């Protein structure tokens, strides 16, 4: 990649805007693409707020926030991504949507451009298979929130070339991330461990072993976790947790990955966590107020 690479990010949701921010902070020119106008506008507002907070804390100098924001160029069409050397897809976890995005990117970008996905569970080998450049497809699974979390999982598809892997390692390091490398298997490393843990916390609540706060406090103080599993599920999004859990159960065929009925019911109710201001907790202005599950829909205490 060039000294000042042009990076594309597809999807201006929570993950996409975080990736765009860290790339711009690392000196990259960023094309942030989303077909939803409100999503793109909201992403720029959110990034500006994050950067201003860094200025207020003395972590960015005067004027630096504006320069970083100036490196992010919003767009609503795939054609504007044609100059990009590296594109990271960060759309919602939908297999069909991601497959179509990869088809569109494959026809838009120069043959030498590399394609990465931020997917947390979908096969990179499958995504690579719908392109004419499968050797230049790889996974970059960032953790949420991207500007704060140091880890990125680099996922090698069956077809990924060594050159693509090495360029991805360099990009991860440029973005200030610590990377781990994982094979292309459902859930990769982090979610293979995390989602069953969150799901078991849901079963614990479903079975009435404790309240939402009891379960999260037990994890924080008993396991020394910085955040309880139910609060973390709200941050990730219960719909995303459910999707990954279903992928793990389907692909491995093991009952230990079976999603709890309580998680299914919360998703059916539209209680997806922070993004809907209600999940296992109720949120106001993005801040946790109180457990929404006291009593829960199953009258659990």
Active site residues: 120, 141, 153, 191
Is pTM beyond 0.85? Reply is yes
Residue 132 binned pLDDT confidence (cut-offs 50, 70, 90):
very high
Q: What is the mean pLDDT of residues 57-81?
A: 94
Instruction: Measure the CA–CA gap between 62 and 108, rounded to whole angstroms.
Output: 38
Average pLDDT of every residue of the chain: 94
Which residue is it, tokens 């959110």? 46
The answer, yes or no, to whether residue 182 has pLDDT greater than 90, is yes
Instruction: Measure the CA–CA gap between 229 and 198, rounded to whole angstroms.
Output: 5
The answer, yes or no, to whether residue 301 has pLDDT greater than 60, is no
Instruction: Measure the CA–CA gap between 237 and 274, rounded to whole angstroms.
Output: 7
The answer to whether the CB of 31 falls within 8 A of the CB of 8 is: yes
pLDDT at position 286 is 60
CA angle in degrees (0–180, nearest 5) for 61-67-71: 140
pLDDT at position 143 is 96
What percent of the chain has a predicted confidence (pLDDT) above 90?
91
Instruction: Measure the CA–CA gap between 8 and 120, rounded to whole angstroms.
Output: 19
The domains located in the chain, with CATH, are 6-183 (3.40.50.720), 191-291 (1.10.1040.10)
At 89, give phi and psi (nearest 5°).
Answer: -85, 130
Instruction: Measure the CA–CA gap between 57 and 12, rounded to whole angstroms.
Output: 26
* CA separation, residue 127 to residues 29, 151, 191 (Å): 25, 22, 19
The answer to whether the CB of 115 falls within 8 A of the CB of 89 is: yes
């Amino acid at each position: 990649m060039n000294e000042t690479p042009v990076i594309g990010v597809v999807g201006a949701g929570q993950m996409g805007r975080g990736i765009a921010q860290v790339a711009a902070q690392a000196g990259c020119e960023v094309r942030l693409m989303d077909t939803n106008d409100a999503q793109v506008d909201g992403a720029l507002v959110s990034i500006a707020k994050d950067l201003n907070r860094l200025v207020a804390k003395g972590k960015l100098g005067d004027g630096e926030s504006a320069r970083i924001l100036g490196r992010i160029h919003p767009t609503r069409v795939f054609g504007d991504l044609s100059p990009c050397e590296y594109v990271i897809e960060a759309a919602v976890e939908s297999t069909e949507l991601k497959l179509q995005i990869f088809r569109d990117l494959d026809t838009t970008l120069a043959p030498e451009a590399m394609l990465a996905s931020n997917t947390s569970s979908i096969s990179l080998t499958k995504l690579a298979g719908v392109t004419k450049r499968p050797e230049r497809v790889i996974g970059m699974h960032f953790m949420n929130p991207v500007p704060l979390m140091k880890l990125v999982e680099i996922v090698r598809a069956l077809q990924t070339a060594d050159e693509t892997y090495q360029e991805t390692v360099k990009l991860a390091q440029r973005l200030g991330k610590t990377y781990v490398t994982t094979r292309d298997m459902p859930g990769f490393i982090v979610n293979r461990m995390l989602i069953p843990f969150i799901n078991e916390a849901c079963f614990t609540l479903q079975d009435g072993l404790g309240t939402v706060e009891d379960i999260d406090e037990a994890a924080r103080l008993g396991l020394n976790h910085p955040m309880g599993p139910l609060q973390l599920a709200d941050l990730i999004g219960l719909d995303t947790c459910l999707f990954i859990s279903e992928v793990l159960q389907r692909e491995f065929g093991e009952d230990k990955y079976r999603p709890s009925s309580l998680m299914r019911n919360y998703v059916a109710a539209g209680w997806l966590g922070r993004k809907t201001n209600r999940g296992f907790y109720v949120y106001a202005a993005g801040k946790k107020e109180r457990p929404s599950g006291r009593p829960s829909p199953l009258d659990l205490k």
